[in-house]
């Protein structure tokens, strides 16, 4: 194969252009990655997909992992089950007509139209740009209106003094708290949550964490190809937590 | 011929006066002690949980706040609706509106998880929150009713009387709409999420507020040796009867609407049929004691006795507290319906009726709020001329004629 001088020049130009542009493209990719100092943006929308077919009745690894990760110690607390914090719980659901039973974890559903944020008088309940719903424990006055408004019973009021807190998950008596979607792990770039990690470790893989806005992510691809549902879809709250099999 | 209305401060140096303030002071102290106990230990020492989030303090607080706007009825009838006979009672009516609101808000604030952060609530606002609107509605109400009292007491600003009266009337409607909407706006729960909450709370305020006003009026006039005429009392008791009937009507409309929708059958069955204490409080407390018996007492010849009228007012208040308990606590005790038609269970009592029993500190805090309202009223009566010197028919009723008095005396 002979290459004319003209073709050679053209290929050379293309190669030079490619070499010049490629790092630029890589830079765009890098620029989209977030440093810890940067504010979150709506470029990401973090979510969870829970496959109840894979969730084992009686298994509480996700709950245990959440407690360990976020410094929640029920043993240490004096109150009843109804006063202890419940960021995530296992719910058993049975269809009385067919007898079909399944088990699923329920946590904050990180609604994009969160009723808790609507009703909070001080703005302590807020939604980050990336869809994670949190409580600012510094301006929560403990009125508990968000708990009245939450359709998922996902929020807990801290009923007593707590010790052994994690510095990345500050909590305090007299304020309201709930699942943070392990926001400290997300911001650190771990790419998973404590519950999803624990579930995978058990070999169940029922909880999938990821960026719903990233078309290449496993969660985005799965929700695109399978029927998924949100709890209480009638309320149209656009939850970031989706379920298969409910 | 129209007579001038005389207002006179109460002397407030009798043993009874001092004893009354001492008792109220002791209840307030107990309420504050209860607050300290609850806040120091945390809310786990109360009956409240993550399922029954708002407890007995909220029953008292919401009752007092609702009653506060209703206590203004009599003043509104006098100013906004030009009923001269009610004018002598308008100052007391406005005073009670403020003191009851203060009592209710005190309970609400002292039950917060972080009452020390009240300043945060005053400086950070989320204007989509009905709670945030209410902060303005409550403080605005106190300011407007304060101005209203001023124009009633100071002849130099008399020209603003009507305007202040109308402003206060409109504001109190907005205020109770806001209070009812705290529940009306809650989409999550079966017992709430209903537009009827706002008007129902308004009509409840009419009834509960007037009942408290009636009792305070009768006691303060009697204890200071001032007469109340039969005709004026008769008007008030008839008004009370109409309000009681209206509250019953709203209860019927609310439950009937819910009963029609299959999705609400669970909560209706719970409240009306098998909810244990909530069912009892509904039928015996709200309907019988707070509704039917007062109607019988007020609209039969029994009501010729002043004691019976006072008893009816007491029953309206007790029934009102029962109604608040059923709405606030019953509404939370019934589980959230996350999976309609399914049986659910969990370590966090999903699908189960939440247990709640009021703890002593909660009750003391609630009663403390009532005592704050009454003590403030008692004190105000001593320092400013709120109470009329006489409510005898001859002094206040514009339609009073000697003959009718004689005729009614003969008939009696």
Q: Does B398 fall in a domain?
A: no
Comparing A80 with A6, the larger pLDDT belongs to A80
Judge whether residue A153 has pLDDT over 70: yes
> Is A177 in the same domain as A58?
yes
Q: What is the mean pLDDT of residues B103-129?
A: 95
Alpha carbon of B347: minimum distance to chain A alpha carbons (Å) = 7
Note every long-range contact of B76-83, with CB atoms under 8 Å and residues 24 or more positions apart, other chains counting: B76/B165, B76/B168, B76/B169, B76/B172, B78/B165, B79/B148, B79/B161, B79/B162, B79/B164, B79/B165, B79/B166, B79/B168, B79/B169, B80/B162, B80/B165, B80/B166, B80/B169
Residues 64-93 of A with CB under 8 A from B: 77-86, 89-93
Q: Does A176 fall in a domain?
A: yes
pLDDT digits (tens, 9 = 90+) for A164-181: 899 999 999 999 999 999
Query: Hey, are the CB atoms on A246 and B182 less than 8 Å from each other?
Result: no
> Is A66 in the same domain as A176?
yes
The ipTM assigned to this model is 0.91
- B228 φ, ψ to 5°? -120, 130
Residue A241, SS3? strand
Q: Does B27 fall in a domain?
A: yes
Query: Hey, are the CB atoms on B117 and A79 less than 8 Å from each other?
Result: no
Alpha carbon of B116: minimum distance to chain A alpha carbons (Å) = 8
d(CA B213, CA B72): 9
**Residue A209, Ramachandran bin (φ over 0: left; ψ between -120 and 50: alpha; else beta):** beta
> Is A13 in the same domain as A56?
no
Chain B residue numbers touching A78 (CB-CB < 8 A): 44
Chain B residue numbers touching A148 (CB-CB < 8 A): 53-54, 186, 188-189, 332
Residue B40 belongs to domain with CATH number: 1.20.1630.10
Residue B388, SS3? strand
pLDDT digits (tens, 9 = 90+) for B26-60: 999 999 999 999 999 999 999 999 999 999 999 99
Residues 87-146 of A with CB under 8 A from B: 89-97, 106, 115, 117-124, 139-145
pLDDT digits (tens, 9 = 90+) for A183-240: 999 999 999 999 999 999 999 999 999 999 999 999 999 999 999 999 999 999 999 9
Chain A residue numbers touching B330 (CB-CB < 8 A): none
Residue B15: per-residue pLDDT: 93
Within an 8 Å CB–CB cutoff, is residue A163 touching chain B? no
Residue B13: per-residue pLDDT: 86
Residue B1: per-residue pLDDT: 42
> Is A61 in the same domain as A135?
yes
Q: Sign of the C-alpha dihedral, residues A103, A107, A111, A114? A: positive
Candidates A93, A98, A161, partner chain B, best to mutate (most B CBs within 10 A): A93
Q: What is the mean pLDDT of residues B162-185?
A: 96
Query: Hey, are the CB atoms on A152 and B336 less than 8 Å from each other?
Result: yes
Q: Does B326 fall in a domain?
A: yes
Q: Which residues are registered as beta bridge partners of A239?
A: A111
Q: Are A75 and A90 in contact (CB under 8 A)?
A: no
Q: Are B73 and B213 in contact (CB under 8 A)?
A: yes
d(CA B376, CA B99): 6
Render B115-148 in DSSP notation, one character per residue. GGGHHHHHH---TT-HHHHHHHHHHHHHHHHHHH
Among all chains, which residue has been given the structure tokens 């307030």? B28
Nearest to B103 by CA among B382, B324, B378: B378
Range of lowest pLDDT (B68-77, B188-197, B334-343, B392-401): B392-401
Q: Are B218 and B310 in contact (CB under 8 A)?
A: yes
d(CA B104, CA B60): 7
The CA-atom distances, in angstroms, between B387 and each of A126, B67, B120, B370, B383 are 49, 20, 38, 20, 11
Q: Does A41 fall in a domain?
A: no
Q: Sign of the C-alpha dihedral, residues B216, B222, B228, B234? A: positive
> Is A10 in the same domain as A89?
no
pLDDT digits (tens, 9 = 90+) for B252-287: 999 999 999 999 999 999 999 999 999 999 999 999
Between helix B230-260 and helix B306-325 the angle, nearest 10°, is 30
Domain residue limits at B347: 15-389
Query: Hey, are the CB atoms on B53 and A142 less than 8 Å from each other?
Result: no
Between helix B360-383 and helix B90-110 the angle, nearest 10°, is 150
Q: How many CB atoms are closer than 10 A to CB A17?
A: 10
Domain residue limits at A4: 1-33
Residues 213-272 of B with CB under 8 A from A: none
> Is A10 in the same domain as A120?
no
Judge whether residue A1 has pLDDT over 70: no
Q: Decide: pTM greater than 0.80.
A: yes
Residue A212, SS3? coil
d(CA B159, CA B152): 10
Nearest residue on chain B to A94, alpha-carbon basis: B343
Q: Does B403 fall in a domain?
A: no
Residue A3: per-residue pLDDT: 66
> Is A63 in the same domain as A121?
yes
Alpha carbon of B302: minimum distance to chain A alpha carbons (Å) = 44
> Is A26 in the same domain as A119?
no
> Is A27 in the same domain as A52?
no
> Is A6 in the same domain as A51?
no
Judge whether residue B2 has pLDDT over 90: no
Nearest residue on chain A to B45, alpha-carbon basis: A79
Query: Hey, are the CB atoms on B50 and A246 less than 8 Å from each other?
Result: no
Within an 8 Å CB–CB cutoff, is residue B352 touching chain A? no
Residue A24: per-residue pLDDT: 61
The three state secondary structure string of A153-178 is CCCEECCCCCCCCECCECCCCCCEEC
d(CA B319, CA A199): 52
Q: Are A108 and A181 in contact (CB under 8 A)?
A: yes
Query: Hey, are the CB atoms on A94 and B124 less than 8 Å from each other?
Result: no
Judge whether residue A16 has pLDDT over 90: no
The number of distinct structural domains making up chain A is: 2
Within an 8 Å CB–CB cutoff, is residue A154 touching chain B? no
* DSSP strand pairing (A46-51 vs A241-244): parallel
Q: Quick one: chain A helix, strand, coil %, rounded to 5?
A: 30, 20, 50
B412 confidence band (pLDDT: 50, 70, 90): very low
Q: Are B316 and B211 in contact (CB under 8 A)?
A: yes
Candidates B54, B188, B197, partner chain A, best to mutate (most A CBs within 10 A): B188
Q: Does A39 fall in a domain?
A: no
Judge whether residue B362 has pLDDT over 70: yes
Residues 317-336 of B with CB under 8 A from A: 332, 336
The number of distinct structural domains making up chain B is: 1
pLDDT over 70 for what percent of chain B?
Answer: 97
The beta-carbon neighbor of A145 closest among B48, B131, B354 is B131
Give residues with Cβ within 8 angstroms of A29, minimum separation 6.
none
Within an 8 Å CB–CB cutoff, is residue A162 touching chain B? no
Rg (CA), chain A: 23
pLDDT digits (tens, 9 = 90+) for A76-134: 999 999 999 999 999 999 999 999 999 999 999 999 999 999 999 999 999 999 999 99
Render B199-223 in DSSP notation, one character per residue. HHHHHHHHHHHHHHHHHHHHHHHHH
Residues 172-191 of A with CB under 8 A from B: 173-176
Sheet architecture: strand order including B343-346: A101-107, A88-94, B343-346
d(CA A14, CA A44): 34
pLDDT digits (tens, 9 = 90+) for B51-70: 999 999 999 999 999 999 99
> Is A107 in the same domain as A194?
yes
Residue A179 belongs to domain with CATH number: 3.30.70.20
Comparing B350 with B403, the larger pLDDT belongs to B350
Q: Are A246 and A52 in contact (CB under 8 A)?
A: yes
Within an 8 Å CB–CB cutoff, is residue A158 touching chain B? yes
Q: What is the mean pLDDT of residues A41-55?
A: 96
Residue A93, SS3? strand
Residue A35: per-residue pLDDT: 65
Give residues with Cβ within 8 angstroms of A118, minimum separation 6.
A149, B128, B129
> Is A236 in the same domain as A185?
yes
Q: Does B400 fall in a domain?
A: no
Q: Are B320 and B290 in contact (CB under 8 A)?
A: yes
Comparing B119 with A15, the larger pLDDT belongs to B119
Within an 8 Å CB–CB cutoff, is residue A229 touching chain B? no
d(CA A183, CA A168): 9
Residue A7: per-residue pLDDT: 76
């Amino acid at each position: 194969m002979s290459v004319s001088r003209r073709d050679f020049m053209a290929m050379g130009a293309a190669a030079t252009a490619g070499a010049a542009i490629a790092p630029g493209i890589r830079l765009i990719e890098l620029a989209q990655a977030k440093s810890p100092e940067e504010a979150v943006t709506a470029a990401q929308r973090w979510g969870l997909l829970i496959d109840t077919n894979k969730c084992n009745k009686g298994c509480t690894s996700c709950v245990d992992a959440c407690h360990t990760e976020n410094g929640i110690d029920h043993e240490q607390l004096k109150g009843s089950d109804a006063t202890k914090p419940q960021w995530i719980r296992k719910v058993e659901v049975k269809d009385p007509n067919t007898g079909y039973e399944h088990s699923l974890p329920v946590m904050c559903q990180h609604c994009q139209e969160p009723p808790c944020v609507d009703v909070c008088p001080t703005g302590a309940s807020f939604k980050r740009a990336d869809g994670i719903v949190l409580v600012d424990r510094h301006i929560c006055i403990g009125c508990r209106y968000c708990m009245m408004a939450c359709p998922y019973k996902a929020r807990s009021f801290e009923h007593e003094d707590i010790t052994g807190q994690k510095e990345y998950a500050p909590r305090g008596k007299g304020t309201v708290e709930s699942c943070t979607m392990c926001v400290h792990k997300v911001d650190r770039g771990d790419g998973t949550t404590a519950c999803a990690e624990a579930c995978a470790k058990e070999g169940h893989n029922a909880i999938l964490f990821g960026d719903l806005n990233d078309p290449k992510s496993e969660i985005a691809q799965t929700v695109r190809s399978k029927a998924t549902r949100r709890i209480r879809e009638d309320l149209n709250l656009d939850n970031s937590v989706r379920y298969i099999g409910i | 011929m129209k007579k001038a209305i005389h207002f006179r401060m109460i002397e407030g140096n009798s043993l009874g006066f001092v004893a009354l303030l001492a008792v109220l002071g002791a209840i307030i102290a107990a309420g504050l002690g209860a607050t300290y106990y609850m806040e120091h230990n945390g809310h786990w020492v109360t009956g409240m949980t993550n399922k029954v989030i708002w407890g007995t303090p909220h029953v008292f607080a919401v009752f007092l706040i609702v009653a506060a706007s209703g206590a203004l009825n009599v003043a509104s009838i006098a100013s906004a609706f030009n009923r001269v006979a009610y004018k002598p009672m308008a100052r007391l009516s406005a005073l009670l509106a403020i003191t009851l609101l203060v009592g209710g808000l005190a309970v609400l604030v002292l039950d917060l998880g972080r009452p020390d952060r009240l300043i945060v609530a005053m400086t950070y606002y989320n204007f989509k929150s009905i709670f945030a609107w209410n902060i303005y509605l409550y403080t605005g109400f106190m300011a407007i009713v304060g101005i209203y009292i001023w124009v009633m007491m100071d002849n130099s600003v008399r020209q603003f009387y009507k305007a202040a009266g109308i402003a206060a009337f409109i504001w109190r409607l907005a205020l109770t709409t806001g209070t009812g909407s705290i529940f009306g706006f809650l989409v999550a729960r079966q017992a709430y999420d209903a537009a009827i909450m706002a008007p129902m709370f308004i009509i409840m305020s009419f009834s509960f507020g007037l009942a408290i006003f009636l009792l305070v009026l009768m006691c303060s006039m009697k204890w200071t040796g001032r007469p109340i005429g039969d005709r004026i009392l008769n008007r008030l008791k008839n008004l009370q009867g109409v309000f009681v009937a209206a509250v019953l009507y709203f209860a019927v409309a609310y439950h009937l609407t819910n009963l029609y929708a299959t999705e609400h059958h669970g909560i209706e069955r719970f409240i009306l049929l098998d909810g244990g204490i909530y069912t009892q409080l509904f039928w015996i407390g709200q309907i019988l004691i707070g509704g039917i018996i007062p109607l019988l007492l007020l609209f039969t010849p029994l009501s010729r006795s002043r004691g019976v009228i006072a008893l009816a007012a007491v029953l309206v208040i007790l029934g009102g507290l029962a109604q608040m308990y059923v709405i606030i606590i019953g509404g939370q005790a019934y589980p959230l319906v996350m999976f309609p038609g399914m049986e659910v269970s969990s370590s966090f009592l999903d699908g189960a009726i939440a247990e709640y029993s009021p703890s002593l500190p909660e009750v003391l805090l609630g009663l403390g709020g009532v005592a704050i309202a009454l003590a403030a009223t008692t004190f105000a009566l001593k320092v400013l001329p709120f109470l009329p010197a006489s409510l005898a028919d001859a002094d206040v009723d514009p339609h009073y004629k000697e003959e009718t008095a004689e005729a009614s005396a003969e008939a009696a």
